[in-house]
Structure formats: C-alpha cells, structure tokens
Amino acid sequence: MSAAGEDRFHDLQRAAVRFRDERDWAQFHHPKDLALGLQVEAAELAELFLWKTNEEARQALEEPAFRGRLAEEMADVQMFLLYLAEAAGLHLPDAVEAKLETNARKYPVEKARGTARKYTDL
Amino acid sequence: MSAAGEDRFHDLQRAAVRFRDERDWAQFHHPKDLALGLQVEAAELAELFLWKTNEEARQALEEPAFRGRLAEEMADVQMFLLYLAEAAGLHLPDAVEAKLETNARKYPVEKARGTARKYTDL
Amino acid sequence: MSAAGEDRFHDLQRAAVRFRDERDWAQFHHPKDLALGLQVEAAELAELFLWKTNEEARQALEEPAFRGRLAEEMADVQMFLLYLAEAAGLHLPDAVEAKLETNARKYPVEKARGTARKYTDL
Amino acid sequence: MSAAGEDRFHDLQRAAVRFRDERDWAQFHHPKDLALGLQVEAAELAELFLWKTNEEARQALEEPAFRGRLAEEMADVQMFLLYLAEAAGLHLPDAVEAKLETNARKYPVEKARGTARKYTDL
C-alpha cells in the first residue's frame, strides 16, 4: 500500500491525538474506558433512529439537521476508534482489510448471497 | 486536502461496498440496522475488557491472541461505520475534522486541561 | 406497599446474590463492570432483532426457539440490574415507581399523547 | 410460587403499561425498538462510570446526586425490560429463575469459584 494512500487515516489520528495531548487527557485514555466510551457514542448514534420506521429514517436522512447530528455522532465513534487504535498500537485500515478477507471466507458468495443469516447458520 | 490523502478511507469503503454487493446485501443495509449493528459490534469490543482492571487490560494488550481479537472487533465497528457513511452519503474524514473543531470550542484548552469533566460541567 | 408484594424482586435478588457468593464472584462485581456487563447483555438482546423488519420480528416471536433465546437474554439483563442494585444499595422497584412519576411530569398526557417525540421537543 | 410473591413485578409492569396506554404509545412499542431503547438506556447508565476508576466510582456512589442519577438510569432500563416482557408475552421473574438454573450448570461451583473466565474457557 502506498504511503500517500494512508495519509487521511493517519492525519486524522494525529489530529485527534494532538487534540488530546493539548488537554492532557492521555491519562484518562485507558483502553477499557475508550471501549466503554465508544459504546456510549454508538448508542447515541443509534438513538437517532429509535422509534423510526425505515421509511421515516429515509426521510430524516434528507433533513440537514438530522444529517448534521448523524455526522457528529459518527465522528464521535470514529474518534474513539482512532484513540483506541492509538492506545493499542493497532493500525485500523490494515485491520479492516484483514477482516474483509476473514469475512470473505466465513461468508462465501455462493452461500451468503441474498441472505442475512449469520455465518454459523449458513 | 489532497485527493491522494483520501485514498485509504475511500479504498476501504469501496472494498466494503464491493464485499456487500457481491453478496447482494444492500437490501438489508437500512441505516437503522447499520446503527444497531454498529452498537452490537461496539459491545463485543467492550466485552473484551469486561472484568479486567486497567492493569490486566494493559497485560492483555501484550498478548497476540488478545490483540488479534481486539483488531477484529475494531474492524467490525469500522466497517459498520463505513457502511453507514455509504448509506447516508456522509464523508467520514470530513465529519471527524468538523467534530474536532466543534470539540475544540466546547473544550477550550485552558478550561479542559487535565480534567475528565463533560463540557457542560466545565 | 406491602412486604408480601415485594417478595419476588427481593427473592430473585437474593437468589442471584447466592449464586454469585457460591462462586466467590463478589470480588469482580465492581459497579463499573456491572454497568459494562449490562450493556453487553443488552446488545446481545438487541442483536436478536438485527436485520429483521417489525413484521419478521413479530413472526420470530411466535417461534419457541426465538422466544427461548429472547427470554435468556432478557434474564441476563435483569440479573445485571439486580447485581448493580445490590452493589449500589438501591431498591429497583422503588426506583421504577419514582421514575414513572418523574416521566408523568415530563410527558403530560395532553402533550405526549400519540407522539414519539422526546420531552425536550414537546 | 405464591401469587402474593409476584405482586411487585406484576404491579410495576401494569403501572408501566398504564403509563404507556394513557399516552397511546403502544403503537411505537415494536419489540425491536424496545430492544434498541433498552440498549440506549444501558449506555446512559454505563456513561455514569466513564473515566472513573473503581475507587472513584465507589466514592461517587456515596453522593446523593450520583445515586439519584444512577437510580433513574436503572429505572429506565428496568422499564424497557418490563415493556419488552409485555410485548413478547414473557414473564421476567420466571425467565431469571430459569437462567440462574442454566448458569448453575454452565458454571459449576467447583470450576467457577474465584475466576472471571467465561464458561467456554473453564
């Protein structure tokens, strides 16, 4: 993979770390708390869809106010992921590529096509 | 920002979408389900730290088996984020940059330094 | 409220505590871990509905196998709640009654009838 | 089990249902949304412990303000559980008793004593 191609992930992680260090927050960033915080943010994201049918969600996604809140919650989740990657010394893009390969084995196209079943039930 | 710098995020999102489309799964990817799935994966990630002290978590992070499971769970969260970004037509790196700017206003360095208090309590 | 009326909650909490103490698990039951574990169980519960439409969920609820798994996950959430109540010295039934009264003030019938809006948007 | 012993669970569930019906909210109470809402409330509960060490959590549990917020979040989780039990036609206390029996088989005292390992690792 080219160094150029990694810039955006890498740049964001550095920007998030700089934000953290300016505030002297590394002392709070235990991996367990980062994992807990990520889950809290994921719940705030999911709450945006609570009580909505899929059709109502589709309509909400056309409203700028809703899109703005969604973007903020997604950014919060992404930032906790970046902080956790930093704390654990893991490389997120490589982890995603490896997982896509694992999932390709768990969900072979011919078996998984068109079904939402878990791989254990294929 | 340079187009080159965006490649990795963009490439991963395209790889994830290709994986999805080969299996004809777009029909299941309602934003509400993606948000719910993201929360489920975030919980599986957090479960890795359940019952562990911070010191035990630090030791676990030195074990290859634990690191491998952590990387997989983080990749799952990242993939759901990429799918949700795709479904909502949102651009994750831009959303993170915007949120870092918002947070810089909510948590000014002089007030936030060294405290884990929420901005509403600063 | 009569003492008789409290028996079931109280009995269950005592049965759960006895189960815990026979295994010498109180040492792990930090309130933070109980709250994290509760969230993990809540996610396992929610995962049963992932990718399902409301109609598919309705059908699943008629299948004994699905009902059995749902009952197990709900029991897991309930047990973590009971353990947390024990650890915090809080009384769950009283807390629910107090919250219903608070909610009755936040969501007056004439304003809240037939709408899923949050009280801050009424 | 005696009818008297069930009163409190049963009474709370009826009080919660009455609260719901006065507001005509049954139309929103799809099991999937109740499971999602339960997870959201569980995250709000867990957020109370975010960034806190176990010692700081112990101290917080002595503050009336913290205890009050904890009791409210626990009540929210309990109410969603009661609504889900209502929607699914499941009986929570019986589910907990059955799960305690299942867990007693999964975690035999002689193997599980003093260890936080999952039953799959015993």
Digit-coded pLDDT (tens) for C25-38: 999 999 999 999 99
Q: CA A112 → CA A105, A108, B25, B76, C18, distances in Å?
A: 11, 6, 9, 18, 45
D120 band by pLDDT with thresholds 50, 70 and 90: confident
Residue A50: which of D36, D47, D49 has the nearest Cβ?
D36
Residue A37's pLDDT is what? 98
Whether the CB-CB separation of B42 and C40 falls below 8 Å is answered with: no
Q: Do A28 and B84 touch (CB under 8 A)?
A: no
Element (H, E) at C66: helix C64-88
A8 band by pLDDT with thresholds 50, 70 and 90: confident
Beta-carbon count within 10 A of B118 CB: 12
The alpha carbon of residue C50 is apart from the nearest alpha carbon of chain B, in Å, by: 6
Q: Do A44 and D43 touch (CB under 8 A)?
A: yes
* Whether D65 contacts chain B with CB within 8 A: no
Q: What are phi and psi of B16, to 5 degrees?
A: -65, -40
Instruction: Evaluate if residue B1 carries a pLDDT over 50.
Output: no
- Which of C27, C36, C41 should one mutate to test binding to chain B, selecting the residue with the greatest count of B CBs within 10 A? C36
Residue A28's pLDDT is what? 93
Per the model's pLDDT, the better-predicted residue between D122 and B70 turns out to be: B70
The alpha carbon of residue D40 is apart from the nearest alpha carbon of chain A, in Å, by: 5
The first and second tokens of residue B41, run together, are 């994966």
- Residue pointed to by tokens 């299942």: D102
Instruction: Evaluate if residue D4 carries a pLDDT over 80.
Output: no
- Which of C30, C36, C69, C107 should one mutate to test binding to chain A, selecting the residue with the greatest count of A CBs within 10 A? C36
Give me the interface pTM, i.e. the ipTM: 0.92
Angle subtended at Cα B69 by Cα B66 and Cα C27, rounded to the nearest 5 degrees: 55
Q: Whose CA is closest to B80, among A34, C36, A86, A77? A: A77
Residue A8, amino acid: R
The alpha carbon of residue A116 is apart from the nearest alpha carbon of chain C, in Å, by: 7
| Residues B88/A115/A94/C44 CA torsion (nearest 10 deg) | 80
Q: How far apart are CA C43 and CA C76, in angstroms?
A: 11
A6 band by pLDDT with thresholds 50, 70 and 90: low
Tell me the Ramachandran region of residue D113: left when phi exceeds 0, alpha when psi lies from -120 to 50, beta otherwise: beta
DSSP letters of A2-35? -HHHHHHHHHHHHHHHHHHHHTT-GGG--HHHHH
Q: Whose CA is closest to C43, among A85, B19, B96, B77? A: B77
Report the residue of chain D nearest C34, measured CA to CA: D46
Per the model's pLDDT, the better-predicted residue between B10 and D85 turns out to be: D85
For D18, half-sphere exposure in the C-beta direction (CA atoms, 13 angstrom radius) is 10
- Subunit partners of chain B (3 or more CB pairs within 8 A): A, C, D
Q: How far apart are CA B121 and CA C4, in angstroms?
A: 43
- Subunit partners of chain C (3 or more CB pairs within 8 A): A, B, D
Element (H, E) at D74: helix D64-88
Whether the CB-CB separation of C8 and D95 falls below 8 Å is answered with: no
Beta-carbon count within 10 A of C14 CB: 12
Residue A10's pLDDT is what? 86
Instruction: Evaluate if residue C115 carries a pLDDT over 50.
Output: yes
Q: Whose CA is closest to C29, among C88, C95, C92? A: C88
Q: How far apart are CA C86 and CA B42, in angstroms?
A: 27
Q: Do A116 and C39 touch (CB under 8 A)?
A: no
Q: What are phi and psi of B45, to 5 degrees?
A: -65, -50
Its pTM stands at 0.93
Per CB-CB distance under 8 Å, the chain C contacts of A36 are 36
Instruction: Evaluate if residue A114 carries a pLDDT over 70.
Output: yes
Q: How far apart are CA A107 and CA D10, in angstroms?
A: 44
A:17-36 residues touching chain B, CB 8 A cutoff: 19, 22-25, 27-28, 30-32, 35-36
Whether the CB-CB separation of A31 and A88 falls below 8 Å is answered with: yes
Per CB-CB distance under 8 Å, the chain B contacts of C40 are 43-44, 46-47, 50
pLDDT per residue over A35-44, tens digit each? 999 999 999 9
Q: How far apart are CA B101 and CA B95, in angstroms?
A: 10
Q: How far apart are CA D60 and CA D69, in angstroms?
A: 11
Residue B6's pLDDT is what? 53
The first and second tokens of residue B66, run together, are 């634990």
Q: How far apart are CA C46 and CA B39, in angstroms?
A: 9
Q: How far apart are CA D91 and CA D88, in angstroms?
A: 9
Q: How far apart are CA D90 and CA A47, in angstroms?
A: 25
D:80-99 residues touching chain C, CB 8 A cutoff: 81-82, 84-85, 88-90, 92-93, 95-99
Whether the CB-CB separation of B78 and A96 falls below 8 Å is answered with: yes
pLDDT per residue over C74-111, tens digit each? 999 999 999 999 999 999 999 999 999 999 999 999 99
| Residues A94/A100/A106/A111 CA torsion (nearest 10 deg) | -170
